[in-house]
């Protein structure tokens, strides 16, 4: 009985080269390199790696999971080999010559022996990024020089086929205008239909151009961190010591309440305190002659403490009735004449004090224009006083609920932090433009009409 034909590695090399030249895609070539290279040299595992994309293909695996620990460790190993070894000949990998962070997990992922086949002649891919790579083979036994020579020749053939697949999909954008002009001017039957088709295609394509979804809303410049002063007590405001937009310093008097009722109550409390003290002294003198009077001292002391507390409280009210500035800044409030003589309730806002340069943008977005806004979304304020120089800011917050406005409508309050010095005073009004995410042009055009139609037909 005659034995079968002897194994000839050169025939296997020729067969692999033929299959590589006839490969129809880069993925087919990658599959061929990691799974069929064992026809030249035995191995257990293979990985095709590129500098730009990391681990591209693994032997015996349909798809590579880039976030898997094995793929991440292989990427670190191949990246180390590519940086330490720049020649284009096969390299028998010695784990002891590699960094500890790579060799510590070697026994967990790979057999003892490995060979690195550099790929230095890949050329540029579609994006110009695939310029360097390598094929890593790992097995239980080392490889002899003859096998390494076959693998080197096979990789040279494989890289030639790889460059062919990359070149077959190259396309230069510089030739597009000329090709379109030739197609447009070419004399052919049905040229009118061709032009109409081209215009229709361009119009449909234009509908899908991505644009920013934007809305306009009324807005103004408001203080970012003002100190709000509220009425400390129930009473009538008697006078203001400042005027609107006046610069004040900390501790400067701002306004005061009518002192007449406060002073009268304080005087009554002090008189009651004096009476209680006199009554106590008189009773204390009687104790010397009448021991039974000693029992009256404790109630009298309690009465004195009560009257003292009332007097102290009214003294504090009298002090709080004269309001001073807690910090330096600009006073913000309406006409003082509207407050003088008007009863104010405790907690009612009277005025604000804000730093002149501490301003931000406030806008009121109608319910129908409440588009999704990302964190730090761009906001532009076009002031009526200077519409050609908009102020730009970033979204700070948007209220979760709509608030009733003076005109009877409901809107969402939006606050935005100004990214640069504005040089504009607080209170200036204008139009705010809020920039949302990118959407197709057709959605940008049809958003409001479709919303109105749905409200009308309730669908």
HSE (side-chain half, CA atoms, 13 Å) at 386: 11
pLDDT digits (tens, 9 = 90+) for 314-345: 888 888 888 889 999 999 988 888 888 888 89
Task: Write down the pLDDT at residue 411.
Answer: 92
- Cα–Cα distance for residue pair 432/419, rounded to 1 Å: 15
User: Above 60 in pLDDT, residue 24?
Assistant: yes
Rounded (10°) CA dihedral 169, 170, 176, 178 = -110
pLDDT band of 117, cuts 50, 70, 90: very high
Nearest to 110 by CA among 143, 152, 77: 77
Its pTM surpasses 0.75: no
| Mean pLDDT value of segment 417-443 | 87
> How far apart are alpha carbons 429 and 223 in whole angstroms?
13
**Alpha-carbon Rg of the chain, whole angstroms?**
43
Q: Using 50, 70 and 90 to split pLDDT, how confident is the model at 162?
A: confident
Instruction: Say what angle helices 26-35 and 9-21 make with each other, to 10 degrees.
Output: 160
pLDDT(157) > 60:
yes
Pick from 348, 352, 351, 340: which is nearest to 257 by CA? 340
Asked whether the beta carbons of 162 and 122 are under 8 A apart, the reply is yes
> What is the chain's mean pLDDT, rounded?
83
Pairing of strands 322-324, 253-257: antiparallel
**What kind and span of H or E run contains 56?**
strand 54-58
Q: pLDDT exceeding 70 applies to what percent of the chain?
A: 88
| pLDDT classification of 114: cutoffs 50, 70, 90 | very high
Q: State the CB neighbour count (10 A cutoff) for residue 32.
A: 19
- Contact partners, residue 22, CB within 8 Å, separation at least 6: none
What average pLDDT does this structure show over 271-282?
80
- When pLDDT is cut at 50, 70 and 90, the band that residue 447 belongs to is confident
| Residue 381, strand partner residues | 391, 432
Strands (E), 86-144: 91-92, 113-119, 133-139
Identify the pLDDT of residue 285. Answer: 73
Tell me which CATH code domain 9-168 carries. 3.30.450.40
Mean pLDDT of all residues in 109-119: 91
Determine the pLDDT at residue 3: 47
Mean pLDDT confidence for 30-44: 90
Looking at residue 168, its pLDDT comes to 46
Contact yes or no for 352/223 (Cβ under 8 A):
yes
Between 431 and 131, the more confident residue is: 431
**How many residues are there in the chain?**
459
pLDDT grade, residue 355 (50/70/90)?
A: confident
What pLDDT score was predicted for residue 365? 92
Q: What is the pLDDT of residues 371-413, one digit of tens each?
A: 888 888 999 999 998 888 889 999 999 999 998 888 888 999 9
CA distance linking residue 286 with residue 292, whole number of Å: 9
User: What is the C-alpha to C-alpha distance for residues 26 and 192, in angstroms, rounded to an integer?
Assistant: 41
Dist. CA 307–CA 138, nearest whole Å: 96
Average of pLDDT values for 89-113? 88
Band (299; pLDDT cuts 50, 70, 90): confident
Q: Where are the domains of the chain?
A: 9-168, 217-222+354-457, 230-351
Coil, strand, or helix at residue 144? coil
In this model, does residue 192 exceed pLDDT 70?
no
**pLDDT computed for residue 169 by the predictor:** 43
What DSSP state is assigned to residue 110? S
Contact present, 114 and 145 (Cβ < 8 Å): no
Residue in this structure with the two tokens 């003589």, named with its chain if needed: 341
DSSP state of 43: -
Domain 217-222+354-457 architecture: Beta Barrel (2.40)
Split at pLDDT 50, 70, 90, the class of 177 is low
Which CA distances in Å does 301 have to 14, 106, 266, 279?
117, 89, 20, 10
d(CA 168, CA 47): 25
Assign 136 a pLDDT band (cuts: 50, 70, 90).
very high
Q: Quote the CA–CA distance of 367 and 411 in Å, as a whole number.
A: 6
Percent of the chain surpassing pLDDT 90: 21
């Amino acid at each position: 009985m005659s034995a079968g034909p002897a194994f000839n590695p050169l025939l296997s090399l020729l067969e692999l080269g033929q299959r590589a030249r006839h490969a129809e895609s880069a993925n087919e070539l990658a599959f061929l390199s990691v799974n069929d290279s064992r026809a030249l040299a035995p191995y257990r595992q293979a990985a095709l790696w590129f500098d730009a994309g990391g681990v591209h293909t693994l032997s015996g695996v349909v798809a590579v999971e880039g976030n898997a620990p094995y793929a991440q460790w292989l990427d670190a190993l191949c990246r180390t080999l590519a940086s330490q070894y720049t020649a284009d000949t096969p390299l028998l990998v010695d784990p002891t010559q590699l960094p500890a962070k790579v060799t510590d997990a070697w026994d967990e992922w790979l057999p003892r022996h490995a060979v690195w086949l550099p790929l230095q002649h890949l050329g540029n891919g579609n994006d110009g990024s695939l310029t360097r790579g390598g094929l890593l083979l790992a097995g239980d036994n080392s490889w002899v020089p003859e096998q390494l020579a076959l693998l080197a020749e096979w990789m040279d053939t494989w890289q030639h086929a790889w460059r062919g697949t990359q070149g077959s999909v190259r396309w230069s954008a510089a030739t597009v205008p000329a090709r379109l002009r030739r197609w447009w001017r070419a004399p052919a039957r049905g040229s009118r239909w061709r032009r109409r088709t081209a215009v229709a295609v361009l119009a449909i394509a234009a509908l899908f151009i991505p644009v920013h979804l934007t809305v306009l809303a009324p807005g103004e410049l408001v203080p970012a961190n003002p100190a709000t002063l509220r009425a400390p007590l129930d009473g009538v405001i008697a006078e203001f010591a400042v005027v609107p937009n006046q610069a004040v310093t900390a501790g400067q008097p701002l306004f005061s309440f009518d002192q007449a009722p406060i002073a009268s109550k304080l005087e009554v409390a002090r008189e009651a305190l004096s009476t209680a003290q006199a009554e106590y002294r008189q009773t204390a003198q009687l104790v010397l002659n009448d021991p039974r009077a000693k029992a009256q001292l404790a109630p009298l002391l309690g009465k004195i403490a009560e009257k003292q507390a009332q007097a102290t409280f009214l003294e504090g009210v009298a002090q709080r009735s004269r309001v001073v500035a807690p910090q330096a800044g600009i006073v913000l409030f309406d006409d003082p004449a509207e407050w003088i003589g008007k009863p104010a309730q405790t907690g009612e806002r009277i005025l604000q004090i804000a730093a002149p340069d501490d301003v931000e943008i406030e806008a009121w977005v109608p319910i129908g224009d409440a588009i999704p806004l990302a964190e730090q979304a761009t906001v532009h304020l076009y002031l009526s006083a200077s519409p050609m120089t908009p102020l730009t800011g970033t979204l700070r917050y948007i209220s979760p609920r709509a608030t009733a406005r003076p005109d009877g409508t409901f809107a969402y309050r939006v606050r935005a932090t100004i990214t640069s010095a504005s040089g504009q005073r607080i209170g200036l009004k204008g139009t705010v433009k809020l920039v949302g995410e990118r959407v197709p042009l057709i959605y940008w055009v049809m958003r409001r009409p479709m919303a109105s139609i749905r409200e009308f037909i309730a669908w």
